[in-house]
Chain A
Amino acid sequence: MSQAGNGTEVGLADGIDHQVAMVMDLNKCIGCQTCTIACKTNWTDGGGREYMYWNNVETKPGSGYPRDWEEMGGGWDEEGEERTPGELQNKEEYGRAWNFNHEQVMYEGSDEPLRPMEQPDWGPNFDEDEGAGEYPNSYYFYLPRICNHCTHPSCVEACPRSALYKREEDGIVLVDQDRCRGYRYCVEGCPYRKVYYNAMKKTSEKCIFCYPRIEGEGPEGEVMPPSCAEDCPPQLRLVGYLDDEEGPIHKLVNEHEVAVRLHPEYRTEPNVYYIPPFAPPQHSESGESIESERIPRSYLEELFGPDVHEALNTIERERAKVERGEESEVMEMLTTTDTADQYRLEVFD
């Protein structure tokens, strides 16, 4: 733990100098999957990684990727001391790459629409936009997910070979490919199912928080934000160190407490935080707005824990301030279009 300037505590793992973190504003996500593709083309287009999305965007409520990952176990017990090993899922639960009738449509003059060659029954985003609730008050939102680079990572603890480790300088969690022997305890130990098994290489792989980019190892030698953040059209991600008191992440997470963790009950202490989604109020059958929240608070609490209530209340107050013409640091941080404010790249330099 380190003490921030205003007295709030910043949880850092033991022996970690700084902790990289990300805040994702769910109100901005349009489900376009640009982040998914940015990550995939950068890191996971090689052999054995066909099914892997280190970054994915799923619809909530929904089964997610892999299917029903929230029910597979993993993480820590309530005291955060004992690991609770989960189940190892089937490959089918990730979904596999479908073969399409490209050949027939593109080259053989078929009038068939372009579609998978066989009847698919599951895949990433198979339940996209379905959501829950009844017309006219149905609801859904998108949830982008990457590895949380947890403060208390259960994948690291799960590996009997210490092949997973947390970098001292920035808390990024990596898999040492030379030490990994493909036991997959990390895959079943991560309650977010964000460690993947590469059957071709027989090792585990995962999100690396684009560490070569934040280290400036690219062709121009420039420090760059992670691909998923930089390529996001609505720019919903803020990147920096959690313990950077001048940065927006520290302010949103620790000072204003409007950014919350996904499934904090897993006790791995994720370092990806979410601004919970707002939706228009419910409508009556005659189409009038009524005083009832469209996305049930109970559901948001299931996802983000009890802190989501105060976070939503605070955001509502801050929005009202702006509507009244007053200043709001929270809304300024959440609506800035200045990438220098969004990505505190100087902290990585």
Chain B
Amino acid sequence: MDRRPMFLAALLAVSIVVTTLAVPTLVSARPAYEIPVTNVDNGATLDAVDGERWDQAPSAGVSLSSSGAAVPGGDNSTIDEVRVASARTDERLYIRLSWDDPTRDTSADNVRQFADAVAIQVPVNESARPPIAMGSTDNQVNVWYWSGLNDSQELLAGGPGTTTTLDDRNLESDATYRDGRWQVVLSRPLDGAGDNRTSFSAEQDVDAAVAVWNGSDMERSGAKATSEWHYLALGPGPQGPPYEMILWLVAGLGIVFTTLVTIEGVRRTRGE
């Protein structure tokens, strides 16, 4: 018996099995720009960076590049990536940020000393996407800011250089530096409880962007590493680009193509 049709038939079978197994794994990959948000019943272990619940929370690697702001060093940042995870209870939103930084800078006691810092910005009006550089006057952003001075602040901004401290301090933070890596948790009630404060709901994803400052590189203000807009996946369904559909389509076409090639191969072998 000619071995070729058998080989092709076996190949077809293997292809189908591989596709069937691989495609579901691929389509469960997160859409680009998603920061996953885990729903939890209570946040007891989320307010500390070492909290157990963070072990199970998926995180996203967020790429950073220089902000390019018009300040000395604005195009010269040093931190490339920050990992971001998020979790929410019925009352509170938690965000954990971690990044590699070989120097731990927690003081600004000397003229030349600057502290490491991290911030996440979200639109005040979560249904509209503001300009990435600190929003704009008619499209403001809330900023959750933590610095190595052991200081966390909730800020409002309406464009570069306009950050203003919001008085009522609802923002809580916890941070550790271990093995050349910062881990910072910031949390705040979902309800903004006031004007100019973002309220988070389970109905809608919320845009978010991250910035990291390396103190030993004298980074401060616009001299920082920033991300593009990502989104906190707070809403009910999958969002982002339709990767799933594209992947299924590619897989389906692949199966059909392979089948046709196989059939043709078998027919030619038989001399039909």
Contacts and interface: CB of A to CB of B under 8 A. Distances in A.
Contact of A183 (B112, B113, B149, B221): B221
Contacts of A202: 108, 149
A160 B111 CA distance: 18
B71 interface: yes
B112 A89 contact: yes
Contacts of A187: 111
B221 A199 contact: no
Interface string B74-115: 000000000000000000000000000000000011111100
Chain A interface bracket (under 10, 10 to 19, 20 to 34, 35 or more): 10 to 19
A150 B108 CA distance: 28
Given A160-B71, A185-B72, A199-B111, A88 B218 contact: yes
B111 A88 contact: yes
B188 interface: no
Chain B interface bracket (under 10, 10 to 19, 20 to 34, 35 or more): 10 to 19
Given A160-B71, A181-B163, A89 B111 contact: yes
B160 interface: yes
Identify which of B70, B109, B160 gathers the most chain A CB atoms within 10 Å of its CB.
Answer: B109
A181 B221 contact: yes
A91 B110 contact: yes
B69 interface: yes
Interface string B183-222: 0000000000000000000000000000000000010111
A344 B220 CA distance: 43
Interface in A74-98: 85, 88-91, 94
B93 to A, nearest CB: 25
Contacts of B241: none
Interface in A178-226: 181-185, 187-188, 197, 199, 202
Contacts of A197: 111
A94 B69 CA distance: 30
Given A197-B111, A199-B110, A199-B111, A185 B71 contact: yes
Nearest to B218: A88
Nearest to A188: B72
A85 B72 contact: yes
A90 B112 contact: yes
Interface in B217-247: 218, 220-222
A188 B72 CA distance: 10
Identify which of B108, B111, B149 gathers the most chain A CB atoms within 10 Å of its CB.
Answer: B111
Interface of B: 69-72, 108-113, 149, 160-163, 218, 220-222
Interface of A: 85, 88-91, 94, 160-162, 181-185, 187-188, 197, 199, 202
The 10 closest A-B pairs by CB, nearest first: A85-B72, A161-B161, A160-B161, A183-B221, A199-B109, A183-B220, A197-B111, A91-B110, A160-B221, A91-B111
